[in-house]
C-alpha cells in the first residue's frame, strides 16, 4: 500500500529497499482520494525501530494511509535523539484539535510500575479519553492494551513469576470476527512482558470480547465497542531479530533472562530465528485497517 510519510524519515529508505511502496507528500497531493489519517502514539524508547516495525505492518493494504507520529510532552525520551522527535513527531497538544481514522498506542517498558507512577500517565489518560470522540478505532499494543483496560474498565494487570518471552501458539475463538478473518486455527505470535491481564477478568466484563488466546501466553486479542477499541497483548509487529536483540541486551546487562521460547532453532541462540508470524501479523493489521477503520470512518469528519 502507499504509506504517506515525510520524505526524509529514516525508515523510508529501508522500506523502499524492501519494495514497500512509500509515498511522499507531493505525490499524495496529486491523488484525488482521501487518505486514512492514522496516528501512532509511540511510547517505546527506541522510536526509530518501532516506526519501522509498524510501518512494515501497515504496508499490506491498497488504501493510502497518512501517518502522523505523536509524542507525549510530559516525558523526555532518553534513547532517541531529540532532533528526530522534533522533526518527525507532533506533540499531542498540536493534534488534539483534529480527528484520526485510526490510532495506534504502543507499549512501553514501564509495566512493572503502577500506572499512576508513570510520569506521562495523566497525559495518556487524556489521550485515551480524547480518542473516544476523535478516533474511529484505536489499536492498543501490550502495555498500552493493559493501560486501556485499566483506565476504561478498571481491570488490573498482574505481575508474572517470570518474563513471558518468546513465540507462543494461539487459537482463534471467534472465526466470524473480521479482525481474525484469514487466520489459521493455530498461529504463533511474539510476547515480551512481565505482566498480564487474566482472561477471567476480561471475560467478567460484558463490554469486552476475547478474539484469540493462548493456553500458555493468555489473551492475545480482545476488543470492545464492535472494534472501536482493539487490545493486542503480544507484539505482532516485531521483526525477525527483535526478540534476539532483547535477549542479547539483557544477557549483556547480566540480567536473569530465559532463552525466548520457540524462537531459535533447537533453542540455539547462535542460529538465525525462523520468521513464522509475519503472515498473521500482516493480516491482523490489514483487517483492522479495512474492517474497523476504512469501512467505519466517514469520508468527512
Which residues does the annotation mark as catalytic? 142, 235, 237
The set of cell numbers assigned to 44 is: 517505546
- Asked if residues 189 and 277 have their Cβ atoms less than 8 Å apart, the reply is yes
Please list the residues that pair with 40 across neighbouring strands. 69, 104
> Which positions ≥6 away from 13 have C-beta within 8 Å?
none
Torsion of Cα atoms, 285 then 4 then 130 then 117, to 10°: 70
Residue 153, burial from CB neighbour count under 10 angstroms (0-12, 13-18, 19+): middle
Please list the residues that pair with 231 across neighbouring strands. 140, 222
DSSP per-residue letters across 153-220: H-PPPEEEEEEEEEEEEEEES-TTSGGGTT--SEEEEEEEEEEE--HHHHHTSTTEEEEEEETTTEEE
Convert 57-84 to b/e letters by CB count within 10 Å (16 or more is b).
bbbbbebbbbbbbbbbeebebeebeeeb
Query: Taken in order 41, 46, 47, 53, is the CA torsion positive or negative?
Result: negative
- Asked if residues 212 and 220 have their Cβ atoms less than 8 Å apart, the reply is yes
Amino acid at each position: 500500500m502507499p504509506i504517506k510519510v515525510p520524505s526524509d524519515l529514516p525508515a523510508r529508505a529501508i522500506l523502499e529497499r524492501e519494495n514497500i511502496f512509500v509515498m511522499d507528500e507531493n505525490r499524495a497531493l496529486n491523488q484525488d482520494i482521501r487518505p486514512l489519517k492514522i496516528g501512532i502514539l509511540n511510547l517505546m524508547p527506541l522510536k526509530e525501530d518501532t516506526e519501522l516495525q509498524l510501518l512494515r505492518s501497515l504496508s499490506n493494504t491498497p488504501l493510502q494511509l497518512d501517518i502522523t507520529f505523536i509524542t507525549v510532552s510530559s516525558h523526555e525520551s532518553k534513547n532517541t535523539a531529540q532532533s528526530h522527535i522534533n522533526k518527525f513527531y507532533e506533540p499531542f497538544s498540536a493534534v488534539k484539535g483534529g480527528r484520526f481514522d485510526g490510532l495506534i498506542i504502543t507499549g512501553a517498558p514501564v509495566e512493572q510500575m503502577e500506572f499512576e507512577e508513570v510520569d506521562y500517565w495523566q497525559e495518556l489518560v487524556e489521550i485515551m479519553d480524547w480518542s473516544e470522540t476523535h478516533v474511529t478505532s484505536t489499536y492498543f499494543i501490550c502495555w498500552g492494551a493493559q493501560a486501556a483496560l485499566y483506565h476504561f474498565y478498571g481491570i488490573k494487570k498482574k505481575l508474572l513469576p517470570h518474563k513471558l518471552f518468546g513465540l507462543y501458539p494461539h487459537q482463534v475463538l471467534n472465526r466470524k470476527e473480521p479482525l481474525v478473518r484469514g487466520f489459521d486455527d493455530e498461529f504463533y505470535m511474539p510476547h515480551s512482558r512481565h505482566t498480564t491481564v487474566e482472561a477471567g477478568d476480561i471475560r467478567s466484563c460484558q463490554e469486552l470480547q476475547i478474539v484469540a488466546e493462548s493456553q500458555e501466553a493468555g489473551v492475545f486479542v480482545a476488543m470492545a465497542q464492535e472494534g472501536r477499541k482493539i487490545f493486542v497483548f503480544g507484539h505482532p509487529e516485531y521483526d525477525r531479530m527483535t526478540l534476539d536483540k532483547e535477549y542479547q541486551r539483557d544477557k549483556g546487562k547480566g540480567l536473569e533472562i530465559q532463552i525466548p521460547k520457540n524462537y531459535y532453532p533447537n533453542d540455539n541462540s547462535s542460529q538465525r530465528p525462523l520468521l513464522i508470524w509475519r503472515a498473521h501479523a500482516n493480516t491482523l493489521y490489514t483487517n483492522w485497517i479495512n474492517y474497523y477503520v476504512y469501512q467505519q470512518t466517514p469520508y468527512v469528519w
